Chain A
Amino acid sequence: MISSKKKRMNAWTILLFILPALLVYVVYVVYPIITTFNYSLFDWSGLSADTTFVGLGNYVSLYMDRIFWLALQNNVLIVMASVLLQIPLGLIMALILSSSIKGRRFFNVMFFLPYLMSTVAIGLLWIYMFDPVNGPVNQILMWLGFSPVSWLADPAIAIYAVLFVIIWQFSPFYMILFRAAIVGIPDELYEAADIDGANSKNKFFYVTLPTLIPTIVTSSILAIVGSLKAFDIFYIMTGGGPGHATEILGTYMYKQGFINFSMGYASAIAFTMFVIAFVCVVIIQTLEYLRRKRGILS
């Protein structure tokens, strides 16, 4: 209704405004995704023009590829680390910043620092932090009386070392989301709780936490979608190794395509990643829709 006056613009003008963005987006995002699917139907090295049509053959191989499932499992592990550790740590940091301690501005800056570094720089820094001989992490362990650990070389431990770094990098991001949400909680709610004689534990569980649920949901969505994008930190710190212990879909796709030159197979992995992301988004949107609907009813 408001729009009656708005649309004094003809289709051509609208198109002219949108065209530059649309063109770049189609050429570098939409067309490549379609082409990735097309490539995934061929056996192709990428080095020569020789291509053999194999239909869904690459997907069948993928289904039977043990490393693919291992990589997928590691991606799921990233999601779990994010939801179960990063988000709570972010919440705790946000609560510290919203408490009445002195030097909040200082803590705010220091807590946020890790999120400002490039992932490559973080990866390289932590390779040295985790260095078995000269690294500070092992030095601290030894000082505390533990024996040194070969963090990135031990297949059973490497994945947790990398996950630790991911948590270090991204907790501040969730801290910011929670801090904004906490600032938005009306004081009246706490005053009402005071009148009812609530202690601070009650206030947290009955006032703060329930009002933060939308933020927790948003954060979890970001964590799930973000985990599929993980690549840099694994590529830099372990390259997916030792063996395939820290392999994730991103590193596996990269290796198949750009190191082994199995571009067809790599395309199949890439398109599978796209499908997984798509399915996740659809599920999340549906759940979100149901949650909202229920919210209106109740």
Chain B
Amino acid sequence: MKNKRGKQILVYIVACIFLVFTAYPFIYMISTSLKTMDDFFANPFRMIPGEFTLDHYFSVFEMGLAQYFLNSVMITVAAVFIVVIIASLASYPLSRMSFRLNRPLFLFFIAGMMLPIHATLIPIFVLSQDLGIYDTLLALLGPYVAFSLPISIFILTQFMQDIPKELEEAAVIDGANHFATFRRVIFPVIKPAVSTVVIYNFVFLWTEFIFALILITSPSQMTLPLGLQNFYGEFSINIPGLMAALTLASLPVILMFLFAQERVVKGLTGGALKG
């Protein structure tokens, strides 16, 4: 009994060590963002600010963060929307029809998960210049959709395989064509998988950096990760300001997590859990 109690205490101690390890940087970030400059330079490590201020949040918003935020929202929403549609369309025959190229095509798509993005950078850079979309948000759309496809198709096909085939047979008997069957019968059923796909890709694209780095140079077109890096170059002295920007940039994903924990965990670990 005594031994058990000791073990219990040990678990708490280890848990608290990990807690400090994972949470302290967040506490530092948030508390610094709420300090005045004077307060920060006088007591850089005090966890509770001497006087609270939200000034940094307003000033980083005015300094361009609002624009980056808006750009990130636009490109992320557009890319996720397109991915959901074209990935679920492709997953339908891949998971429910038998045809000769089925398996090769499926492997061809999901092989993209293993790919180092660097192997595509220079041609995509050249392509976006040739298309005249270099240095616009539009340049990101193609690569963002393309690199979201493999995991999305993987998640969606896994899910669609388990739908009983009687479901669509009934629709086919009713004389619906394949597209109508897909839209009215299959799509409503795969909603849980779609939400996994949405969450995974939202997080992946919201935090994407390297394509933005090589395809965008104008601040007016920058997404949040690129904008933050730009901020750092300009305001490296204004540490509370930078911390406010970091907090704001991280907020959407963290809020999403707090409101839909299980879904997000499922979404972020993607196909890994099935394998």
Min CB gap A90→B, angstroms: 11
Contact yes or no, B11 A136, CB < 8 A: no
B210: chain A residues within 8 A (beta carbon): 231-232, 235, 250, 254
A18, A39, A93, A180, most chain B CB atoms within 10 A: A18
Q: Contact flags (1/0) for B230-270 with A, using CB distance below 8 Å?
A: 00100000010011001001100110011001000100110
Q: Contact flags (1/0) for B84-101 with A, using CB distance below 8 Å?
A: 011101101110111100
Classify chain A: how many residues form its interface, as a range. 35 or more
Q: Is the interface of A mostly helix, strand, loop or mixed?
A: helix
A17, A129, A173, most chain B CB atoms within 10 A: A17
A113: chain B residues within 8 A (beta carbon): 22-23, 26, 254
Q: Does B74 contact A (CB under 8 A)?
A: no
Q: Does A48 contact B (CB under 8 A)?
A: no
What is the total of A-B residue contacts with beta carbons within 8 Å? 267
Contact yes or no, A250 B26, CB < 8 A: no
Min CB gap A49→B, angstroms: 11
Q: Does B172 contact A (CB under 8 A)?
A: yes
A189: chain B residues within 8 A (beta carbon): none
Contact yes or no, B19 A14, CB < 8 A: no
B21: chain A residues within 8 A (beta carbon): 168
Q: Does B115 contact A (CB under 8 A)?
A: yes
- Give how many B residues have a beta carbon under 8 Å from the other chain's beta carbons: 92
Contact yes or no, B253 A116, CB < 8 A: yes
Contact yes or no, A125 B25, CB < 8 A: yes
A258: chain B residues within 8 A (beta carbon): 125, 214
A237 to B235 CA separation, bound complex (whole angstroms): 16
A114 to B253 CA separation, bound complex (whole angstroms): 11
Contact yes or no, B90 A96, CB < 8 A: no
Contact yes or no, B116 A273, CB < 8 A: yes
CB nearest to B15 among chain A residues: A96
Residue from B28, B228, B258 within 8 A of A136 (CB atoms): B28
A172: chain B residues within 8 A (beta carbon): 22
Q: Does A31 contact B (CB under 8 A)?
A: yes
B249: chain A residues within 8 A (beta carbon): 118, 121
Q: Does B71 contact A (CB under 8 A)?
A: no
B116: chain A residues within 8 A (beta carbon): 228-229, 249-250, 270, 273-274, 276-277
Contact yes or no, A14 B272, CB < 8 A: no
A273 to B11 CA separation, bound complex (whole angstroms): 42
Contact yes or no, A14 B25, CB < 8 A: no
B1: chain A residues within 8 A (beta carbon): none
Contact yes or no, B123 A134, CB < 8 A: no
Q: Does B206 contact A (CB under 8 A)?
A: yes
A93: chain B residues within 8 A (beta carbon): 18
Q: Does B121 contact A (CB under 8 A)?
A: yes
Extra contacts, 4 of them, besides A20-B85, A176-B269 (Cβ < 8 A), are: A13-B178, A29-B120, A107-B15, A113-B254
